[in-house]
């Protein structure tokens, strides 16, 4: 059985974060973090956070004259929004990592996708180390929440540290 996660808000979580030498993505991701708009928008919210944290040019935001940033609404109207995912379908079913991969590429991101069952633990940790040490990339994972004991099923999320 997996050990219980250590919440970031707890002193032990803060100590782990501050002691980590693989947290280059934490600042940009935490600055642009947003909670998913509904239970099935984890992929959409992850893409929005990644796009904003990397400074990918965004469309104007209705209601905020002069401001350009990605939201969980306008991202569906952007590149690949109709080809890889449709908001109404994602609201009902969520999305797959393959859909997120294609959608991310349409937004101009360079994507390397790995299947967890094709990596050893050493390879996975190396990918984490490399990605979290480079401030110019982002890591997004698709995992089963019950594996780290969290409530819910499959989930897509950026990794910050």
What's the pLDDT at 4?
Answer: 77
Yes or no: say if 155 and 148 are a contact pair by the CB < 8 Å rule.
Answer: no
- The answer to whether position 39 is within a domain reads yes
Cα–Cα distance measured from residue 59 to residue 57, given in angstroms and rounded to the nearest whole number: 7
Give me the domain span that covers residue 140: 21-159
**Alpha-carbon distance values, 95 to 6, 28, 83, 143 (Å):** 27, 24, 13, 12
Q: CATH number of the domain that 155 lies in?
A: 3.90.70.30
Model pLDDT for residues 44-60, shown as the tens digit of each residue: 999 999 999 999 999 99
Residue 38 located in a structural domain: yes
Overall domain count for the chain? 1
25 within a domain of the structure (yes/no): yes
Could you tell me if residue 65 is inside a domain? Answer: yes
The answer to whether residue 7 is domain-embedded is no
pLDDT tens profile 106-160: 889 999 999 889 999 999 999 999 999 999 999 999 999 888 878 888 999 999 9
For the entire predicted model, the pTM comes to 0.89
CA distances to 92, 98, 131, 144, 153 from 39, in Å: 9, 19, 27, 14, 10
User: Is residue 152 assigned to a domain?
Assistant: yes
């Amino acid at each position: 059985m997996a050990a219980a996660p250590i919440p970031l808000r707890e002193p032990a979580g803060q100590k782990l974060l501050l002691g980590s030498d693989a947290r280059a993505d934490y600042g940009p991701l935490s600055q642009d973090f947003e909670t998913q708009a509904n239970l099935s928008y984890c992929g959409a919210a992850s893409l929005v956070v990644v796009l904003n944290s990397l400074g990918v040019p965004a469309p104007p935001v209705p209601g905020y004259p002069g401001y350009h940033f990605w939201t969980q609404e306008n991202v569906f109207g952007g590149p690949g929004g109709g080809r890889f995912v449709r908001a109404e379908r994602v609201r009902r079913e969520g999305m797959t990592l393959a859909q997120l991969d294609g959608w991310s590429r349409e937004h101009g991101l360079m994507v390397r996708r790995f299947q967890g069952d094709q990596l050893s633990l050493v390879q996975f940790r190396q990918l984490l180390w490399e990605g979290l040490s480079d401030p110019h990339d982002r890591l997004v994972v698709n995992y089963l929440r019950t594996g780290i004991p969290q409530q819910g099923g499959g989930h897509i999320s950026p990794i910050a540290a």
